[in-house]
Amino acid sequence: MGEDLQDANELYLVVGLGNPGKSYEKTRHNIGFVAVQELALKHGLVFHRQVKFKSSLAEGQIGSKRVLLQMPLTYMNLSGEAVALAMRFWKISLQRLLVIVDDVAIHLGELRLKINSGSGGHNGLKSIEEHLQTQRYARLRIGVGDRQEGDLASHVLGRFSEDEQKVAAAALQRSVEAAEIWLQKGITSAMDFANKA
């Protein structure tokens, strides 16, 4: 997917969704945070808490693209506030937004990359849609395992078992690769990579 030369310096925004605080670390719901942290680590980018943007942000270069990585610190249900603040301040177009999120409707270890799809009941995506007034942005869903017994909240706020951790780690690696492909080659190539079984 070609791009005009004048777009070459425009900023891309990759958002990982999760909840701030020690008690939420390593929960299924925070896999979006972990994905952007892994992406930052791989490319030597460092997160800094920025109260003005209600986020931890890391800015730098990934391949040929200028990238802003964002972890909203608003709690999941209000993620859209932080995303909208960053989009407005840096004048980021919807085509340059990727949101990485957990999904209980997808088997553990699987990825789904779509554009212009619904929230699937995910409160973080609902909040983003509400604040951006659109669904037309890319979202990379990471499967966090089927709920067995009990309510949804206890499942997503639970931690992976030892066996699940290995599968989740491989999915995180693939999600980082999918984000890199999205940045360098565009949404179609990234979807081809992420959505294969």
Percent helix, strand and coil across the chain, each to the nearest 5 = 45, 25, 30
Marked catalytic residue, from 29, 122, 131, 155:
29
Quickly state the pLDDT bin for 151 (edges 50, 70, 90).
low
Read off the DSSP letter of residue 14. E
Read off the pLDDT of each residue in 94-99 and give the average, rounded to a whole number.
96
Q: Does the pLDDT at position 9 exceed 80? A: no
Strand partners, 152: none
Give the percent of the chain with pLDDT over 70. Answer: 87
Domains of the chain: 5-194 (3.40.50.1470)
pLDDT tens sequence across 177-194:
999 999 999 999 999 999
Average pLDDT over residues 143-158: 59
Lowest mean pLDDT among 14-23, 29-38, 118-127: 118-127
Tell me the CA distances in angstroms from 105 to 78, 83, 111, one per residue in order: 21, 24, 11
Q: Is 42 helix (H, G, I), strand (E, B) or coil?
A: helix
35 neighbors 175 (Cβ within 8 angstroms): yes
Interval 22-72: pLDDT, tens: 877 888 788 899 999 999 999 999 999 999 999 999 999 999 999 999 999
Give the mean pLDDT of the chain: 87
Q: Is the pLDDT of residue 195 over 90?
A: yes
Backbone angles phi and psi of 192, in degrees to 5: -55, -40
| φ, ψ at 138 (rounded to 5°) | -80, 135
Question: Percent of the chain beyond pLDDT 90?
Answer: 62
With cut-offs at 50, 70 and 90, classify the pLDDT of residue 120.
confident
Indicate the pLDDT class of residue 1, thresholds 50, 70 and 90: very low
Of residues 65, 81, 128, the one with CA closest to residue 100: 128
Annotation says 29 is catalytic: yes
Q: How far apart are CA 29 and CA 104, in angstroms?
A: 9
Q: How many helices (H) and strands (E) does the chain have?
A: 6, 7
